[in-house]
Structure 1
Amino acid sequence: MAIYRFRISFEDFDEVVREIDIKSTQTFEDLHKAVHRSTGYSAEKSSSFFVSTDNWIKGDEIAYLPTQRKTDRGVALMETSKLNRFIEDPHQKFYYIYNFDRPFDFHVELIKIILDPDPNIEYPFLVKSTGEAPKIIEKDNFGAVTVSAAPASTEFDFLNEMDFVPEDTEEIEAMGGRGINAEEKSDDADEEETDDADEFADNDDYEDEEYNSKEDY
């Protein structure tokens, strides 16, 4: 039984690297879970390895938690697929997609074959870890953030469109102040109207007197 040493790197974060030793008779599911023990990600996500060319062109798929469509197509399953069945080259490559809902792509390359496994090591075994895996915003958490932010934003826009003034103490006081000024202005306007009316009445009296004087004449 041989030990395969795989070098695993993020496609978009090539400074983040893991090297894992694993038995040739172990499965792709064992490798999948070993990778995410080293990244801190949840392994219980729909993911797939693809047998790859040297240029990272994807071939046959080995899936974990496949969709019904993949199952119907007869895609190989990680839990039943041993690594040595898919190793055809001493530098065999696999293109690996983790979590199809929010995917990360990896390059997986066989870099060493060890013929004498260490009996004191439990495989899979993390040989090397370089760089911190990028953080993942889980779908549920992302949704929660969106939902919590949306109502405030929606309510604010709606109320502004309706010219609504929030019921805030300072704003109420300010509104009260504006109300008093409006009342004072209204009283001033009433007084002006009263003065105009009195002046008009005086003019009427003057006209009556003038008319009477003409009659007397």
Structure 2
Amino acid sequence: MIYRFRVILDNDTDDDVFRDLEIKETDTMEDLHNIITQSFGFDGTEVASFYLSDDAWNQGEEISLFDMSEGANEVKLMSETTLNNTVHEAQTKLIYVYDFLSMWTFYVELAEIAEENEGVDYPNLMFVQGQVPEAAPEKIFEAEKDEFDSEFDDDFDVNDYDNLDFDEHWN
């Protein structure tokens, strides 16, 4: 079987930037990572992760390109995870983040499961819409209004050493 995905760049412009891809259901998440990076013009050398997502695009379990946990906890790797063990009719949405410094963020959705077409090489880039911007769209992470206001005194001056409440001869 073939999975057909629509991969949409999360950007704050009016321009739609997406790619429609086909890939075998038995390919790995790393294969999906490779066709996404190639189809959007990235070199594929940056750290990346997929995240399972619900219908509201909330980020869930991570599937990472590399194990950077230093053995602290078990990491699900793209190279060891097949598409059909991750994505199916009940789990159709993924969030894909490429280059954790720039935070290129994509919404990946399984659009269709189809029969393999004889003579077609997979993975296959089916359709291209829009140009990728020069730089990743800027992400604004906002805390809930007044979430931190009650925790900190606005009159606090970190340079006012005389009034800091600590014993400088503690040791």
**Does the Cα contact within 8 Å between 1:63 and 1:75 map onto a contact in 2?**
yes
Using CA pairs under 8 Å that are at least 6 residues apart, name the structure with larger relative contact order, 1 or 2: 2
**Does the Cα contact within 8 Å between 1:90 and 1:112 map onto a contact in 2?**
no
Q: After TM superposition, list the pairs within 5 Å mapping 1:68-217 onto structure 2.
A: 68-69=69-70, 72-89=72-89, 92-114=92-114, 116-136=115-135
**Does the Cα contact within 8 Å between 1:6 and 1:20 map onto a contact in 2?**
yes
CA RMSD for the aligned pairs?
A: 1.8
Q: 1:57 to 1:78 in 2, by over 3 A?
A: same
Give unmatched runs, 5+ long, in structure 1. 138-217
Distance, in Å, in 2 between the alignment partners of 1:112 and 1:34 is 17
What count of residue pairs does the alignment treat as equivalent? 134
**Does the Cα contact within 8 Å between 2:54 and 2:91 map onto a contact in 1?**
no
Corresponding residue for residue 18 of structure 1: 19
For the residue of structure 2 that corresponds to 1:76, the secondary structure is coil
Corresponding residue for residue 37 of structure 2: 36
**Does the Cα contact within 8 Å between 2:39 and 2:125 map onto a contact in 1?**
yes
For the residue of structure 2 that corresponds to 1:68, the secondary structure is coil
Q: 1:18 to 1:72 in 2, by over 3 A?
A: same
Q: 1:81 to 1:112 in 2, by over 3 A?
A: same
TM superposition outliers: structure 1 runs of 4+ over 6 Å: none
Distance, in Å, in 1 between the alignment partners of 2:72 and 2:99 is 20
For the residue of structure 2 that corresponds to 1:31, the secondary structure is helix
- Following TM superposition, by how much is the alpha carbon of 1:36 offset from its aligned partner in structure 2, in angstroms? 1.3
Look at both structures and tell me which one has the larger radius of gyration over its CA atoms. Answer: 1
Letter in 1 for 2:69: Q
Relative to the length of structure 1, the TM-score reads: 0.58
Compare the two structures and name the one with the higher strand fraction.
2
**Does the Cα contact within 8 Å between 2:64 and 2:76 map onto a contact in 1?**
yes
**Does the Cα contact within 8 Å between 1:46 and 1:66 map onto a contact in 2?**
no
For the residue of structure 1 that corresponds to 2:45, the secondary structure is coil
Corresponding residue for residue 213 of structure 1: none
- Following TM superposition, by how much is the alpha carbon of 1:72 offset from its aligned partner in structure 2, in angstroms? 2.9
Residues 154-190 of structure 1: CA distance to partner in whole angstroms, max 9, x if unpaired? xxxxxxxxxxxxxxxxxxxxxxxxxxxxxxxxxxxxx
Distance, in Å, in 2 between the alignment partners of 1:90 and 1:117 is 21
Relative to the length of structure 2, the TM-score reads: 0.73
Compare the two structures and name the one with the higher helix fraction.
1
